[in-house]
Chain A
Amino acid sequence: MDLSSINPVLLVASLMVSATPILFAAIGELVVEKAGVLNLGVEGMMITGAIVGFAVAVTTSSPLLGFAAAALASAVLSLSFGVLTQYLLSNQVATGLGLTLVGLGLSSLIGRPYEGIKSPTLPDIHIPVISDLPVVGPMLFQHDIMVYVSIALVAGVWGFLKYSRLGLILRAVGESHDAAHALGYKVVRVRMAAIFFGGACAGLGGAYLSLVRVPQWTEGMTAGAGWIALAIVVFASWRPWRVLIGAYLFGGITVLQLNLQAAGLQFGVEYLSMSPYVITILVLVVISARGAHGAPASLGRPFHASS
């Protein structure tokens, strides 16, 4: 094995890229869960975003249009989950799982004609001076625009939840929908908006996979990223900045194990490939055992105004 073949600068740079799809999906799901809704359909929304973004980008040759279309498509798909769970009071867990299955099926249907095509990808931005800094420049400041959008989104969600009145109302709805209703807040409307936002974020994450990270369409290409995003929200105890840490940690391990494989580590490839998932599970176990949760009190509970 030759560890010197691993370049730390490239490692950090590629971990940011590798973490971005999960970061998008997780920060969206965090908002959804903060409003008290458990949407297990992240995986389905991500892969729908991946194929719709890919298709639109290939057709229009504009990756940015692809991202916009992906966000819109996944958000619209998430509204079906919203209507079922918020208006028809269906079970959130079952509906979320259904959404994942629908998304996987729908994406492979749409994706048939697009297999084997290469998509136009986003150019890396170049900021004079900062991007040219030695080491730090290529590590942090030579990425495409969506990497920075994802980080800005985390900051935005954090500020929104902590400082804005709407954020306070959203947290209140997730904490106790009965109390929020008694004060006259529109519980269902707030939750629908959160679900829509979560869907859009998952779509962006999916499109990032098919337009930047890979960039190609293959069936089932999200490969569990949506589930990891769900786990990271718990890992983060529902706090935005910890979602960033969790996503980068997962991305880091993914990239590291790839690098280790490339460096010729004589240790089962299967084990290395599974390591990010195993470590995610271990971290979740440790966090759950410690008992510090902070889950929204109404998470996953159905709300009906009559009760």
Chain B
Amino acid sequence: MDDILLSLSGLTKAYPGVVANDDVSFDIGRGEVHALLGENGAGKSTLVKMIYGLVKPDTGTMTLNGAGYTPAEPRAARAAGVAMVFQHFSLFDALTVAENIALGMENPPKPRDLARQIREVSENYGLPLDPDRVVGTLSAGERQRVEIIRCLLQNPQLLIMDEPTSVLTPQEVEILFQTLRQLSAEGTAILYISHKLEEIRALCDNATILRLGKKVATCIPRETTAREMAEMMVGSSFNAPEARARDLGDVALEVRGLSLPAPGAFGTPLRDISFTVRQGEVLGLGGVAGNGQDELLAALSGEQRSPAAMIRMHDVEIGALGPTARRDKGLLTGPEERLGHAAAPDMSLTENAVLTAARREGLLSRGFVNWGRAQGFAEKVIEAFDVRTPGPGTAARALSGGNLQKYVIGREILQRPEVLIVNQPTWGVDAAAAAAIRQALLDLAAKGAAIVVISQDLDELIEISDRFGALNEGRLSAIKPVQGLTIDEIGLMMGGAHDMEVAHA
């Protein structure tokens, strides 16, 4: 690259007990779309935090436009022309769009001028947005537009995007890509962090791959297959889950016209949801985050009761039963939030095992916990699901996300559920562990359990489900067999592009 914008050389950052980045060097050219690839914990976030001035490198240098670049804080990075769109945590729900944007600028103009500028930029890039809306009321896609516009108003030379598409429908992703290509054509470099390989192949000019904090490879995504990139990330080949060929039994779970009011101010009401799952079947429910996934899981698990007839299991009405009664009947659930919902963070793995498995696994005798048997069960889960931990006495909080996820899913699977409902079973889990969890779900279905997988990862749903439906604003789309379903159809089921329009035609 003859026209280098940002050059990283020998960046190293160590935290107590772990080297997050070890001697990482690469260059980003002007107008280049550069992908940063790696599994969770590979050091991508630390690296971009150094570029954005949130973290100081221990050693190593950066040059921007040929001059030394050592941002002490994000303000300095922004002043130097580096902007960042975050994955989480960067918008303020109770403030308006304009206030949110003003907070991200060094010298924001007067409110009226700012509103005009927001409208101009949003029209230029096909990202319609009303400056006076309160951010808490926006959809995930709209929230991302707020962040992008906040960055664009500062005319950045380098735009860092951290997992930008995890909350978007396929149509919204396409529009985002057009915006990014337009920016790139205008000379803005983009550092694109993702682990969605097909997206990187579609968008990026170059890719740098990190593993365990080290740069392990570079490639040109267009000329590399997704599988090759995945293996570079993981460092070894891994088995994709095996395909299905199962006999379906009777209807195990039936939901009829399930409607519930929203549980809180920013929650989603469930609207007339109906579906059935048969024994041995995997039903995949997709949808953009915040369209009723958590509420549906709560209704199915029994945390949120409904009129009895709305939920039936083997033709018995269970809508009015609580979680314990449903567990006794064989309906188990694995919620999305690992720490705090699926597991109690400060309790040991054994204690966490007792919390859901006490009755089904006979861990109680005369009302007292039999700790010996409880530990035995925890050890069984650790063994069967290859959970990397010193032992069952370890606190749940001390496990990495992927390991804890294997543990909480394994804990439910080993209780031989007749119906299992999981929400985001592989969220934030590395590729090898994700493949293991998916395989375990398929094996469970093969033994005759009915499984509902709620997920935002479409690839995952297509891989393991027999039928697919999408949640959109608390409603469930028609449910279709996965075989023969195209990504376009899925996008429309998820609610299409909302009100996005393309200004690039």
Question: Which residue on A lies nearest to B107, using beta carbons?
Answer: A165
Are B90 and A172 in contact, with the CB atoms below 8 A?
Answer: no
A184-B74, A184-B75 known; A169-B93 Cβ under 8 A:
no
**Interface 1/0 per residue, A166-181 and B, CB below 8 Å:** 0011011001101110
Chain B residue nearest to A178 (CB atoms) is B89
CB B98 to nearest CB in A, in angstroms, measures 10
CA–CA, A247 and B104, complex, Å? 36
Interface positions, chain B 94-109, Cβ under 8 Å from A, are 94-95, 99, 102-104, 108
A294 to B95, CA, bound (A): 11
Q: Taking the complex as formed, is A84 at the interface, i.e. its CB lies under 8 A from any CB of chain B?
A: no
User: CA separation between A182 and B94, bound complex, in Å?
Assistant: 17
The interface size bin for chain A is 10 to 19
Q: Is A297 an interface position by the 8 A CB rule?
A: yes
B94 & A294 in contact (Cβ 8 Å cutoff): yes
Q: Which residue of chain A has the shortest Cβ distance to B92 in the bound complex?
A: A175
**Bound complex: CA A181 to CA B499 (Å):** 31
**Most B CB atoms within 10 A — which of A171, A175, A178, A180?**
A175
Contact check, B102 vs A179: say whether CB atoms are below 8 A apart.
no
**CA gap between A165 and B73 in the complex, in Å:** 19
Residues of chain B contacted by A294 (CB below 8 angstroms): 94
Complex-state Cα separation, A184 to B82, whole angstroms? 13
Q: Are A179 and B94 in contact (CB under 8 A)?
A: no
* B interface secondary structure, majority: loop
Q: Which B residues are CB-close (under 8 A) to A178?
A: 88-89
A1 interfacial contact with B, CB 8 Å = no
- A282-307 interface (Cβ within 8 A of B): 291, 294, 296-297
Interface size class of B (residues with CB under 8 A): 20 to 34
- The verdict on A168 contacting B94 (CB below 8 Å), with A176-B89, A179-B89, A184-B75 known, is no
Question: Inside 8 A of B94's CB, which chain A residues have their CB?
Answer: 171, 175, 294, 296-297
Q: Across the interface, name the chain A residue whose C-beta is closest to B135.
A: A175
C-alpha spacing A285/B236, complex, angstroms:
60
- Assuming the contacts A165-B102, A165-B108, A182-B54, asked whether A175 and B73 have C-beta atoms less than 8 A apart, the reply is no
A175 touches B95 (CB 8 A): yes
Query: Complex formed: what's the CA distance from A185 to B108 in Å?
Result: 15
Tell me the minimal C-beta distance from B144 to chain A in angstroms: 14
Contact indicator per residue, chain B 98-123, by CB within 8 Å of chain A (1) or not (0): 01001110001000000000000000
26 contacts between A and B (CB under 8 A): A165-B102, A168-B102, A168-B103, A169-B103, A171-B92, A172-B92, A172-B95, A175-B92, A175-B95, A176-B89, A176-B93, A179-B89, A180-B92, A182-B54, A182-B74, A182-B86, A183-B103, A183-B104, A184-B53, A184-B54, A184-B73, A184-B74, A184-B78, A185-B103, A297-B93, A297-B94
